[in-house]
Structure formats: structure tokens, C-alpha cells
């Protein structure tokens, strides 16, 4: 079985200070508005860095606990 988990992203509002999960579409929309190119910003997040914009701080959501194989089984044909 092929096992993988899609990346998840979070944003922290400058005012609120709490991390909130967001969709890839929401992330891309914000990064596109504030950066010339999206790919380098995504690469920074994959490397463990945070990307700052006027509307918040974005990062790759860290995983907690063990990876559950049952949640990620995808049949390979």
C-alpha cells in the first residue's frame, strides 16, 4: 500500500494570535496576493519556515502523534 498524507497549512492572525487550519486554496490566494511567485513561499514552508504577509503568518501544520496507517491507505493499481 502507498501511504502519504497531503500537507496541511495554518495561519496565525496578527491580532488574534491563534493558529487556524486553512485550505490550500486559501493559502495560495493569500500568497499569490503578496509574493511574486507562490512556489518559493511554499518551499520555505516545507523547509519549516513561516511565511509572513500583511494578513497573517502562514506555515505547514506540524503533525502531532503517530502516523495512522488506516487513515492513509490508498489502493495502488
2 or 6, higher pLDDT? 6
| Domain presence at residue 74 | no
Q: Which DSSP string do the residues of 11-57 spell out, in sequence order?
A: EE-TTT--EEEE-HHHHHHHHHHH-S-HHHHHHHHHTT--EEETTEE
Question: What is the pLDDT at residue 62?
Answer: 74
Pair 21, 9: CB distance under 8 Å: yes
| Domain presence at residue 42 | yes
What is the total count of domains within the chain? 1
31 or 6, higher pLDDT? 31
| Domain presence at residue 1 | no
Contacts of the segment 32-35: beta carbons below 8 A, 24+ positions apart: none
In terms of residue numbers, what domain contains 13? 7-64
- Mode of pairing for the β-strands spanning 19-22 and 51-53: unpaired
Amino acid at each position: 500500500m502507498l501511504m502519504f498524507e497531503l500537507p496541511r497549512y495554518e495561519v496565525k492572525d496578527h491580532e488574534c494570535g491563534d493558529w487556524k487550519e486553512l485550505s490550500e486554496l486559501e493559502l495560495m490566494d493569500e500568497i499569490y496576493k503578496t509574493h511574486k511567485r507562490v512556489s518559493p513561499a511554499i518551499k520555505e514552508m516545507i523547509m519549516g519556515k513561516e511565511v509572513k504577509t500583511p494578513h497573517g503568518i502562514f506555515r505547514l501544520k506540524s503533525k502531532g502523534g503517530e502516523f495512522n496507517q488506516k487513515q492513509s491507505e490508498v489502493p495502488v493499481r
